[in-house]
């Protein structure tokens, strides 16, 4: 849902309360017994083989799903890397454990494959905060600007963009465009946009979207936590508020933060991103202490508490159901897919030059 500001230039404004309400009503996968877990894992492994399918899971999904993906020859990573893995894997079906735009991205890059998801109800606040029916007209009102969108967007928004970027390459691409004299229309994440603008000095018109998880991190409470753990390194994803980013020892993408835990001499880390990432962090540094950045305290509502409610909808039960029934398939109009593919491919081609 979008409402309009009363500024001189009418700028779409995100209805944060509406999006938070949707997230709070997301139904997490129900807990299961150890016996049921063993049964489901064995069943899913069998179905994956029978259906020539491979499971790819996002860093923010439940540990059980990440572990299962790795155990069955699948992959755990960020959204674009998941889709690229699918392109390189011979399986004819991809099971994408994550949120809806991740399944769409997989389909954009793999049109010949069947893309299934555990649920189609798992949304993303960044995607919801940038609906195509509002974003496309806004872009049309600024034809002098190059449209750069974050990967956390719908296929329709990607189709209108000139470039799609991830948090790991966004700064490099905007710097490249800025050096060519191009002005940027950025969407949807306001904090990542602000961060990139500060680093590059680019002329950026920034959409005011937000991530339900990272927006919850509180700078005042982080300051107090740092005082309790003075030796801890602070790792922050750039979707976080500016005041939180300002306290970081490392600012980076999910993969960059995982690498930082493995490579840093520090033994304690305060982590400002979704706590699902702790699974991979503990793999690379099993003896290091990981501390969640605070989402509680002064001014906090904690509607996410460092974990995405939509990511939590993915579970072993609905993966099994999806494989049994062939449901929750992602389909994209081919004309739209081709347009979206061009903006994604532009990023992939640029990454090969680095």
- For residue 337, pLDDT over 50 is answered with yes
What are the residue ranges of CATH 3.40.50.10800 in the chain? 24-124+310-331, 131-211, 214-292
Q: Is 334 exposed, middle or buried (0-12, 13-18, 19+ CB in 10 A)?
A: exposed
- For residue 9, pLDDT over 80 is answered with no
Phi, psi dihedrals of residue 96, rounded to the nearest 5°: -105, 105
- Residue % of the chain over a pLDDT of 90: 86
Confidence of residue 7 (pLDDT cuts 50, 70, 90): very low
- For residue 95, pLDDT over 90 is answered with yes
Span 197-204, mean pLDDT?
97
- Residue % of the chain over a pLDDT of 70: 94
- Predicted local distance difference test score (pLDDT) of residue 25: 83
Confidence of residue 251 (pLDDT cuts 50, 70, 90): very high
Tell me the residue ranges of DSSP E strands in the chain: 2-4, 12-14, 53-58, 75-77, 93-97, 114-116, 145-150, 163-165, 183-187, 204-206, 233-236, 250-251, 268-272, 289-292
Fold for the domain defined by 131-211: Rossmann fold (3.40.50)
* Mean pLDDT for all residues in the chain: 92
The class level of CATH for 214-292 reads alpha beta
Q: Is 88 exposed, middle or buried (0-12, 13-18, 19+ CB in 10 A)?
A: exposed
- Predicted local distance difference test score (pLDDT) of residue 297: 57
Confidence of residue 303 (pLDDT cuts 50, 70, 90): very low
CATH number, domain 24-124+310-331, options 3.30.930.10, 3.40.47.10, 3.40.50.10800, 3.40.50.300: 3.40.50.10800
């Amino acid at each position: 849902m979008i409402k309009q500001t009363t500024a001189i230039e009418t700028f779409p404004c995100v209805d944060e309360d509406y999006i938070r309400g949707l997230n709070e009503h997301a139904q997490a996968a129900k807990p299961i017994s150890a016996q049921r877990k063993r049964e489901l894992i064995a069943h899913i492994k069998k179905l994956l083989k029978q259906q020539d399918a491979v499971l790819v899971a996002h860093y923010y999904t439940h540990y059980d799903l990440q572990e299962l993906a790795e155990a069955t020859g699948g992959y755990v990573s960020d959204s674009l890397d998941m889709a690229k893995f699918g392109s390189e894997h011979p399986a004819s079906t991809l099971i994408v454990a994550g949120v809806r735009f991740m399944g769409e991205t997989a389909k954009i890059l793999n049109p010949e494959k069947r893309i299934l998801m555990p649920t189609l109800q798992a949304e993303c606040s960044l995607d919801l905060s940038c609906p195509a029916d509002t974003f496309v007209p806004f872009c049309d009102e600024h034809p002098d600007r190059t449209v750069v969108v974050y990967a956390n967007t719908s296929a329709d928004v990607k189709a209108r963009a000139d470039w799609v970027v991830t948090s790991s390459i966004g700064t490099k691409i905007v710097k490249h465009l800025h050096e060519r004299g191009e002005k940027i229309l950025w969407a949807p994440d306001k904090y990542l946009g602000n961060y990139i603008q500060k680093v590059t000095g680019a002329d950026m018109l920034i959409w005011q979207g937000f991530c339900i998880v990272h927006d919850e991190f509180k700078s005042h409470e982080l300051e107090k936590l740092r005082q309790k753990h003075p030796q801890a390194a602070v790792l922050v994803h750039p979707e976080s508020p500016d005041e939180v980013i300002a306290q970081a020892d490392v600012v980076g993408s999910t993969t960059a933060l995982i690498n930082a835990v493995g490579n840093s001499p520090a033994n304690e880390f305060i982590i400002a991103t979704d706590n699902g990432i702790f699974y991979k962090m503990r793999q690379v540094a099993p003896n290091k202490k990981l501390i969640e950045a605070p989402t509680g305290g002064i001014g906090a509502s904690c509607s996410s508490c460092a974990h995405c409610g939509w990511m939590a909808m993915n579970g072993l039960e609905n993966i099994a159901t999806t494989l049994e029934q062939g449901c929750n398939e992602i389909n994209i109009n081919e004309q739209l897919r081709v347009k979206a593919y061009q903006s994604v491919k532009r990023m992939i081609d640029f990454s090969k030059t680095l």
